[in-house]
Amino acid sequence: MSLDLLRTFLAVHRAGSITGGAQVLGLSQPTVTAQLKTLERNLGRPLFDRLPRGVRPTSAGNELARRIADPVDTLQALLSTELDDPTPATLHLGGPSDFLCHQVLPALATRIATGLQVRTTFGLPDDLLDRLQDRSLDLVISSTRPRRAGLRATPCYDETFTLVAAPHWAPAAPVTTPDQLRAIPLIAYAEEAPILRRYWRTVFNTRLSRTPDLVVPDLRGALATTLAGAGLTVLPTYLCHPHLTNGTLIPLATPEVPPLNTLYLTTRTDGGPTTTAVQEHLLAVLQS
């Protein structure tokens, strides 16, 4: 029995496909297929059912993964750290695009510079958590608290939100009602405008009744168009703080308690040592 065969099996089991496992290992798809066939032949039983898209572990495959995951991960960590194994660790990371790009990836810069490989996926919580459960992702930053079997969620960051616009939209009087904002075009993240709706409900104690004038799928797009003077939007403070400081954006309202949303760093309960190390590093940086 070869350690390489077990590593290949575990990579495919976690990725949910032969192609995904091959990418993680840096091997060709035919090589991974041949190694799986060898392992199945040695064990005398199938480990995966082949599907039109990907593979599904058999009961024997799930049992093997359960038994070997921790020992193989531990040995891989030893090879990587103590014996200078040339195979780099790869982390598959998912989350909201703006937070990953602005906060998470810079926090991982030193790890990446010293050998960690990262592949990022942007998306909404439900889709990303599905991919975490099917092992396509190792770690997800979720804007909602996951309540799913097999996942562990740890609060990692509290977002606060600010209603902002370019200075030429400055109101004549302090904003206390949304009627004072009707002359300013509305810039929203996503068609449902979830951040705006929450702000209106929390700060103004009313329902958002306006249709956004501009909808973008990324908060960085909302920031760019707001800086250009297109209208107003609601942004997380971490994203717009430099512009509030230098005066290129102004807050349109100053509630005593601004809206807040907790982000959760989510992993599988059987995550390997690389995922655990990155999780601990991110928690230390984001909560500092």
E-strand ranges in the chain read 48-50, 55-57, 90-95, 117-122, 139-142, 151-165, 187-189, 214-216, 232-236, 250-251, 260-268
Burial 2-12 (b: 16+ CB within 10 A, else e): eeebbbbbbbb
76-99, pLDDT tens digit by residue? 776 655 544 444 468 999 999 999
Tell me what the pLDDT averaged over the chain comes to: 90
d(Cα 263, Cα 147) in Å, to the nearest integer?
Answer: 14
Residue-wise pLDDT for 40-64, tens only, equals 999 999 999 999 888 999 999 999 9
> In the predicted model, is pLDDT for residue 120 greater than 90?
yes
Instruction: Tell whether the model's pLDDT for residue 248 goes beyond 90.
Output: yes
Alpha-carbon gap, residue 202 to 256, rounded angstroms: 11
pLDDT digits 0-9 by tens, 158-193: 999 999 999 999 988 889 999 999 999 999 998 999
Q: What per-residue confidence (pLDDT) applies to 79?
A: 63
